[in-house]
Amino acid sequence: MSGKMKAAVLSRFGDSGVFELRDVSVPAVGPREVRVRVYATAINPLDYQIRRGDYAEYVSLPAIIGHDISGVVEEVGSHVIEFAIGDEVYYTPQIFGGPGSYAERHVADVSLVGRKPKNIDHLEAASLTLVGGTVWEAFVTRAQLGVGETVLIHGGAGGVGSIAIQIAKAIGARVITTASARNDDFVRGLGADEVIHYSSEDYVDAVARLTRARGVNVVFDTIGGDALTRSPLVLADFGRVISIVDIKQPQNLIDAWGKNAAYHFVFTRQNRGKLNALTDLVERGLVKPVIGAVLPLARMGDAHDLLENGSARGLRGKIAIDVVGDTVRLPSQR
């Protein structure tokens, strides 16, 4: 297939106004690749970090970025037997490995692609791929979170935290999460057993109270700041700390040494295996994507601005992008 497609192109690094909606060439398909008609994508903190220029050495401008895709296969390579034209699929494009998801079509190696869960729509599926894969790698591959263990999830109402709560509960863990008071009912509805209101109580004191000073087995850091330095103060012996954010060197880990703690830094790897596991959880009703806002492809800059300032605007969960339509759904102030 030749021709043109619409894409939100990053023309230069900068603020949320740098995207340009352009006509670009439809990508060709290699022997072990599929071309997908993109129905939906979503926004992640990694996206606005790239847009700002935090990873400028890995991105050649002009660029199409983006890390979530849900859509329909429209062409398969000559050596592809896993998928057929018309299959509904979802996946995360290779990070820093080529064009991303902010476009009407995308080409990917079949090893990255999974079948979309049947019981959710494309907007929901697109909101799950990167965060779901990240949480799966954090809890299952790295922390090996077990049944009956206790996990502290920072930022439970966010795009990552909302999925982390659900996957931790599906594993069989006890979940303690931090959130604002206005999001208490929301995170409890996702499965949180205990909620720490970070504006009114220090989470170190709260964890000591909630665990009777035993501590938690796993800390999941989605917020950065001094979380890594303070995490040993809430850990049980042989606890694990998982961080998915850019961090500066923790100031002092002497407390981690005393707990025999393990630290894991997760930059998620893309593969079909994690997507298949997520699909199983979704189709069994154990995980439900949370969408806090929807905007069309032409308003990519607005979507980035909303994510960067979402907490003040009542955002919960992910921001999805309707690539094939003009849906606008904004968070209500809470």
* Residue 284 within a domain: no
pLDDT of 259 reads: 87
* In-domain check, residue 257: yes
Question: Is residue 329 one of the residues assigned to a domain?
Answer: no
For residues 333 and 325, the model is more confident at 325
Q: Are residues 121 and 147 in the same domain?
A: no
Q: Which of 155, 199, 208 is nearest to 177 (CA)?
A: 155
Domain CATH number, residue 114: 3.90.180.10
The mean per-residue pLDDT over the stretch 191-209 comes to 96
Q: Where are the beta strands (DSSP E) in the chain?
A: 4-10, 19-25, 33-43, 69-76, 88-91, 105-109, 114-115, 150-153, 174-179, 194-197, 216-221, 235-243, 262-265, 291-296, 318-322
Q: Are residues 35 and 61 in the same domain?
A: yes
CA 260/CA 240 separation, integer angstroms: 9
Same domain membership, residue 94 and residue 8: yes
End position of a domain, from candidates 231, 250, 265: 265
Q: pLDDT at position 255, please?
A: 79
Same domain, 114 and 146: no
Residue 196 lies in a domain: yes
Task: Identify whether residues 197 and 234 lie together within a single domain.
Answer: yes
Q: Are 119 and 207 members of one domain?
A: no
Q: What is the CATH number of the domain that holds 216?
A: 3.40.50.720
In a domain, 149, yes or no: yes
Pair (30, 52) in one structural domain? yes
- Neighbouring C-beta atoms of residue 209, cutoff 10 Å: 12
**How would you class 238 by CB atoms within 10 Å of its CB: exposed for 0-12, middle for 13-18, buried for 19 or more?**
exposed
Residues 240-264: tens digit of each pLDDT: 999 998 766 566 677 788 888 888 9
Across the chain, what does the average pLDDT equal?
Answer: 93
Q: How many domains does the chain have?
A: 2
Structural domain range at position 300: 4-128+289-322
For residue 263, what pLDDT is reported? 87
Give the pair of three-digit tokens for residue 110.
């079949």
Q: How far is CA 114 from CA 105, 129, 155, 276, in A?
A: 16, 10, 28, 6
Inside any domain, residue 328: no
The answer on 147 and 124 residing in a single domain is no
At 138 the pLDDT is 96
The pLDDT of residue 334 is above 50: no
Q: Do 36 and 102 belong together in one domain?
A: yes
* 105 falls within a domain: yes
- Do 187 and 302 fall into the same domain? no
224 within domain boundaries? yes
More confident residue, 285 or 224: 285
Share of the chain above pLDDT 90, in %: 84
Joined together, the tokens standing for residue 185 give 């009912």
For 70-119, the pLDDT digits (tens) are 999 999 999 999 999 999 999 999 999 999 999 999 999 999 999 999 99
Q: Tell me the Ramachandran region of residue 27: left when phi exceeds 0, alpha when psi lies from -120 to 50, beta otherwise.
A: beta
Residues 62 and 113 in one domain: yes
Same domain, 216 and 146: yes
